[in-house]
Structure 1
């Protein structure tokens, strides 16, 4: 389903330079001095990111989203928290925004599974992306993945293992016994209401 463009979305982003830096590449290596840095790729409308930022004020959270119409909603729901920033950009350009070893955790929440084989390279757990994440992740840095798509989950677990990540907290039904610390995304809330299973895994780099 194609997302309808939102009139004025770019204006919303430009009106909040405090949380949407116009030149994010200039902050490379300086996003979170002496604080952990967590990045959500494909942050959507920002429910997860803003709730996490409120829950963990000592961590700096950055949401990356390339679709300005979607990102504008995330910006509007964000108050004046000191630990939230957004990047209007593409995951392929991560190394231009983050220094080597700068990021402690990456969240991949319900990203597009790109189910057709010819689109494999677009999946955010394709080996090319997983190797890119290695460059910006700190030693023992981790990727937290949640999805409702079982085939994508199976694919992702295989790629994590083949590219040198170790796996932890693997579950095929997150909400069968939902951890207290779990923060739900917009999509996740809808899936829970429909009683759909949520798959989750943590992949980390050996340190």
Structure 2
């Protein structure tokens, strides 16, 4: 899907440094100073329009949330939601998540969320999938021991690939659901895509993958 260009997006981002953190690499190892507390840090890689991370910040005020989104035209939608919510425990980063260790120190993150990521179905694009081995290495480098990756998708191919990738990497799988909305898993917060896809009758897949102790 082609994104509508928003030439004013960068100006809006620059006007909200309290939401979209400027030069986030400067906060590596110091994110708790930015939030002003010792609460755990959860990150969402690919925030979409920000519904998930904003609602999670409301439900869990004792957790600091950081959304990572590289598309400026999407980040501005997150700004609106976060500003409207008034939540102080959520921030955004307008960066590419390829190398998280540029922005986070070892053991600085407690959980990673991957919600409705691009499935990149062609074999030649495998390395772009957010559950490919190099991405799993990137998450592990910044997560605490036994840190978790929570995945949700409506794409069966990506889900099956991810289960295999997690297992091959040596991760432990928990709460695997082949039909989330008809499961007994509680506390699900839906993304914009999730609402759209489930309304069409699409099955939602979910799992939690836990790294073994370092």
- Cα separation, 1, equivalents of 2:193 and 2:118: 12
**Residue number in structure 1 paired with 2:182:** 176
State the shift of 1:128 in Å: 0.8
Q: Does the residue aligned with 2:144 lie in a helix, a strand or coil? A: strand
Q: Deviations over 1:73-99 (max 9, x none)?
A: 101111232101000000113111000
Aligned Cα root-mean-square deviation (Å): 1.0
Count matched residues.
207
State the shift of 1:43 in Å: 0.4
Compared with structure 1, are the counterparts of its residues 187 and 178 closer, same or farther at alpha carbon in structure 2 (3 Å cutoff)?
farther
Deviates more, 1:3-12 or 1:68-77: 3-12
- Cα separation, 1, equivalents of 2:106 and 2:167: 22
- Cα separation, 2, equivalents of 1:142 and 1:175: 21
- Cα separation, 1, equivalents of 2:95 and 2:52: 19
TM-score when normalising by structure 1: 0.97
Q: Is the 8 A contact 2:70 2:94 kept in 1?
A: yes
Q: Deviations over 1:83-120 (max 9, x none)?
A: 01000000113111000111100000000000000100
Q: Deviations over 1:45-64 (max 9, x none)?
A: 00000000001001000000
Q: Does the residue aligned with 2:127 lie in a helix, a strand or coil? A: helix
- Cα separation, 2, equivalents of 1:107 and 1:29: 20
Match among 117, 121, 136 for residue 115 of structure 1? 121
State the shift of 1:154 in Å: 0.4
**Residue number in structure 2 paired with 1:103:** 109
State the shift of 1:3 in Å: 1.0
Write the mapping of 1:140-155 to structure 2, written as runs, cut at 5 A: 140-155=146-161
- Cα separation, 1, equivalents of 2:99 and 2:133: 16
Please, which runs of 5 or more residues in structure 2 have no aligned partner? none
Match among 196, 199, 210 for residue 204 of structure 1? 210
Q: Is the 8 A contact 2:99 2:138 kept in 1?
A: no
State the shift of 1:206 in Å: 2.0
Write the mapping of 1:25-44 to structure 2, written as runs, cut at 5 A: 25-32=25-32, 33-44=37-48
Please, which runs of 5 or more residues in structure 1 have no aligned partner? none
- Cα separation, 2, equivalents of 1:111 and 1:168: 20
Runs of 4+ in 1 over 4 A off after TM superposition: none
